[in-house]
Amino acid sequence: MTTKDVGRTAKRGPYAKSEERRQTILDAAHAVFAARGYRGGSLQEVADRAGMSQTSLLHYFPSKRDLLMSVLERRDEITSGAFPDDMEEGLADSVIRTALHNEDIPGVIELYTVLCAESVTDEHPGRDYFTERYGRLRASYGRRFAELAAEGRLRPGVDPDQAATSLVALWDGLQTQWLLAPDQVDVAKGLRGYLNLVILPGTDPTG
């Protein structure tokens, strides 16, 4: 290691430590918000879980709103692992794989479900996030269903946009039931059942 390398390592040290502390706070906030929601979870509780003072926490996240948005951003980064860039598969398989992927990530469904429900309340800072997210999901799945319709793979009378809206609603509803009774509700099975109702069987890779 050269003198220059030592200097570079020294410069990276404080940044690495700061980033580690930031991730610790996000982990703590994730757990608190998933259990108590945004309004019920306090910054002090997050700080206690992270093993620091609230003043130190605010050095990394100036407000509770900033912390929430960073938690949601990290949540998206975590769940993005279900979408490898090189994967080509049909809509049904993609949906089922994503559902199973999310179930294996501790707390991610709890966080999403609690904050999504809470976001409909007045002046909730996560409202725009969930509104925009639902819009993107409906548009994305609507395009996929439209592609299937163009290929003759959508059952007669099924509207692609309505099928997309119903899929998103069913998925959220199944996840809520799964959180309440995981031994009684199979999210992937429920989604597969719905998709089998609206998509005609076929041998090409879109199914």
Instruction: Give the whole-angstrom CA distance, residue 189 versus residue 196.
Output: 10
State yes or no: pLDDT of 13 exceeds 70.
no
% of the chain exceeding 90 in pLDDT: 81
For 31-58, what is each residue's pLDDT tens digit? 999 999 999 999 999 999 999 999 999 9
| pLDDT value, residue 16 | 77
Q: Please give the average per-residue pLDDT across 149-169, as a whole number.
A: 97
The pTM of this model reads 0.84
pLDDT band at 7 (very low <50, low <70, confident <90, very high): low
Structure tokens at 192: 């597969």
Q: Which CATH architecture has domain 1-67?
A: Orthogonal Bundle (1.10)
For 125, the 3-state DSSP assignment is coil
- Vertex 93: Cα angle to 87 and 95 (nearest 5): 100
Write a three-state SS string for 178-192.
HHHCCCCCCHHHHHH
For the chain, domain boundaries: 1-67, 83-207
CATH number of 83-207: 1.10.357.10
Average pLDDT, the chain: 89
| pLDDT value, residue 12 | 57
For 52-79, what is each residue's pLDDT tens digit? 999 999 999 999 999 999 999 999 988 8
pLDDT band at 28 (very low <50, low <70, confident <90, very high): very high
| pLDDT value, residue 203 | 45
Integer angstrom CA distances of residue 197 from 134, 157, 167, 194, 200: 23, 12, 11, 5, 8
